Every structure is written in structure tokens, then in C-alpha cells.
Structure 1
Amino acid sequence: MGAREDLLAIPDELLRTGQIGQAVLVHMDFRDAPKRWWTGFGDLHVGGYTWEGLGDLISISPISSSYQVSAEQVTFEVAATPEMLALALAAKERVRDRAVTVYLQLFDLTNGEAPIGSPMALYTGTMQRMPWAASGARQRSIRVECEGLFFRRNAAPRGRWTDADQKSRYPGDKGFERLPLYSNGYETRWR
């Protein structure tokens, strides 16, 4: 069932109680070990998967739910242990350009937080950078910056106007060799 069908399947009696909660579920497809986590506590079994609860340790930047096509950026931040920080320092090839999907899960609060329907995808993109920060012995954080699927969608492969890109497209071409000279206010005098 899709998100629309899941929403229509919620009984009117439950909707009228106002006892419907929500949580965010995230799937990060790391190269060696994909992770599924959610913003609650403990393990959650929904959609055929087990989602690990991170509780208060996570923050997610706002996600727009508009119907327009955009290359929106989303940032995740986690309070890091020393072990997580060590993994982050060596994780560039495990993270870069890997898929990330953010879901919304509804819960029936009258029935002890029972999941309603299946998770609904809110955001799909790719993980890009993983900067970290440490201030003192106790405060460490890791951020995962993600770009939407339309990030660089209009750019052609090797689409920069640089000498290296031009030579990779056309070996031996000298058309862009002098481009750095012209970008800094260089004027050509014609006689």
C-alpha cells in the first residue's frame, strides 16, 4: 500500500481521538553496514525491518514537504562517542554518495504506541560530507550532510568549465588553458 492508502485506512474513530503520534525513521545505506534508526527509544519493528532507537541523541534539519522538484539539503547531527568519532574520521569512502531515506511513521497512542500503516518516505538523497566537531573531552558531534536527488541533476558529467575537464573530454585541447587569467580581471588589448 502507498502513503495515500495508508492514510485513508486509518479509522475515523481513531482520527477523532487526536491520539496519533509520529516519529522519524531514517535508513542510511553505508557501504559496509547499512543502518536503520528512528528518533524514539528502543527497537521498533515496522515495515519488515528493525529500527534502532537513538532517542535524544539526534537532530535533523527541517525537511520541506512541498510538491516542487528541488535539490534540498538535509543535515543529521549525532552526539558522538569516541568510537563513533574514530569511525567518522575513516569513513569517507563508506559515506560519500551513498543513499539516505527519511520516513514518517504514524503511531496509535491509545494502543501503547502501535505503528499505523507503513513508513511514508519524506526525503530521498545521497550522503555527501561527514564533518565532526569536538569541544572539550565530553562534547563531540558528527554531522552527515545530504543532498537531494536533484543535486547536480542539470550538470553534465565533467561539466565544469576548467582546463582539466576540457582535456578529459577532448585530449590535447588547449581552449581553457588561459581561463584562470581571464577570471581575475585580465584585459586583452587589441591593436
Structure 2
Amino acid sequence: MGAREDLIAIPDAVYRTGKVGQAALVFMDFQDAPKRWWAGFGDIAAGGHRWQGVGDLISMSEITTSYSVSAEPMTFQLAATPEMLALALAAKTRVRDRQVQVFLQLYATEGFTAGGVSYTDGQAIASPFSLYNGTMQKMPWSASGSADRTITLECEGNFFRRNASPRGNWNDADQKARYPDDRGFERLPLYAGNYEARWR
């Protein structure tokens, strides 16, 4: 069942109680240590997984949507814990081009009964549905003084680079992958940087 069907299946009486909250759930597929977290306190169960509450240690930018198919960027501000600093330093191998997903989860803010179903405080209502799918890119960090450190995780939507052809760079390796006997790009690095050809 899709997100639309899940939301329609929830009885109107549940929404009308005024006791339904929402939480953003985030999955980051770091190499060796994938993380599932949400921007609240304490762990919660949703969608068959356990999500770690991180409070205000991680914040995310707005998720922009449009009717056109576009690759919207997104950023996360991360607390400069030793674990996150290690990820930032090894970002090329452990972070770059790895999956990131943001979900929205509805939950009961307190116990209630509606539509013939009883809900307990914090219980998930329906399945989480996807708000954003993309890949993690750069993870720049900065420090000033002995205590002030910031880490930013930049992400791109799934349509990032959708118009680029495979092996589409103008370099010798990509050209030889397409045409093994072509030697046209072998000397390209030589011509970069104000090279002037001498004609006889």
C-alpha cells in the first residue's frame, strides 16, 4: 500500500482528535555504520525499525517539492561529536554517494480511542512515507577556537546528474571505455592551462 492509501485508510475520527503529531525519520546509509534517527528524544519503533532520538544534535534544511521532476538539494547540520568528525574526515569513502532517505511518521501524542481503535502515547499511526530520497555528497566541516565546530552534510536528490551520460567526461579513460583504440584525449591534460601550440 502506498502513502496515499495509508493516509486515506486512517479514519477521520483519528485526525479530528487533535492528538496526532508528526516526526521526521531519517535513514543515512553510512558505510560500515548505517544510522536511523529522528529529531526527538528517546528511541521509537516505526516501519519495522528502531529510530534513535537525537534531539537537537542534528537539524535539516527545508525539503522543497515541486511538480516538475527536479533534483532538489538538502543539507543537514550535525553536532561535532567525535563519531561525526571521523565521518567528515573520511567522507569520500564512507559518505559520498551513499543513500539518504527522509520519512514522515504520524504518531499519537497521547492515548486515545477513535474509529474503534485504541492508540497509546507515542504509537505510530500508519506506515512512514517518503518525503525525500537522495545521495549524500560532501561533508565539509570547520572549526574556530577549541570548542566551536560545525559539520554540514550536503545531499542531492535522486535526479542529480540525470542528464549526464555514463562515461560522459572528456578525459582519456572515459573515451577509451567507449572506443578502446581512440587516442584523441591522450594529450588533453597537456593542452590545459594556457598551452600554446607551435605550428611549423
Tell me the TM-score normalized by structure 1: 0.84
Q: Give me the whole-angstrom Cα distance separating, in 2, the residues matched to 1:8 and 1:83.
A: 41
For structure 1, the residue ranges without an aligned partner over 5 or more in a row are 187-191
Share of identical aligned residues, percent?
Answer: 64
CA apart distance, 1:88: 2.2
Alignment check: 8 A CA contact 2:87 2:95 kept: no
Q: Is residue 162 of structure 2 the alignment partner of residue 153 of structure 1?
A: yes
Cα RMSD, aligned residues only: 2.8
2:44 matches 1:35: no
Match of 1:189 in 2: none
What do residues 147-167 of structure 1 show as CA deviations (whole Å, max 9, x unaligned)?
111111121112134566435
Alpha-carbon distance, 1:168 to partner = 4.7
Q: TM-score, normalization: structure 2?
A: 0.80
Q: 1:113 is matched with which residue?
A: 122
Q: CA deviation at 1:44?
A: 0.7
How many Å separate the matches in 2 of 1:9 and 1:27?
25
Distance 1:24 1:109, change over 3 A: same
Segments ≥4 residues shifted beyond 6 Å: 178-184
Pairing of 1:38-187 with structure 2 (within 5 A)? 38-111=38-111, 112-162=121-171, 165-171=174-180, 173=182, 175=184
Residue identity matched to 1:50: R
Structure 2: 5+ residue stretches without partners: 112-120
After TM superposition, give the deviation of residue 173 of structure 1 in Å: 3.9
Q: Distance in 1 between matches of 2:41 and 2:150?
A: 20
Kept after mapping to 1: 8 A contact 2:87/2:94:
no
Contact in 2 for aligned 1:134/1:141 (Cα 8 Å): yes
Partner amino acid for 2:178?
Answer: R
- Stretch deviating more after TM superposition (44-53 or 78-87): 78-87
Q: How many residues align?
A: 189
Amino acid at match of 1:147: E
More moved, 89-98 vs 45-54: 89-98
- State the shift of 1:64 in Å: 1.9
Q: C-alpha distance in 2, partners of 1:135/1:12?
A: 52
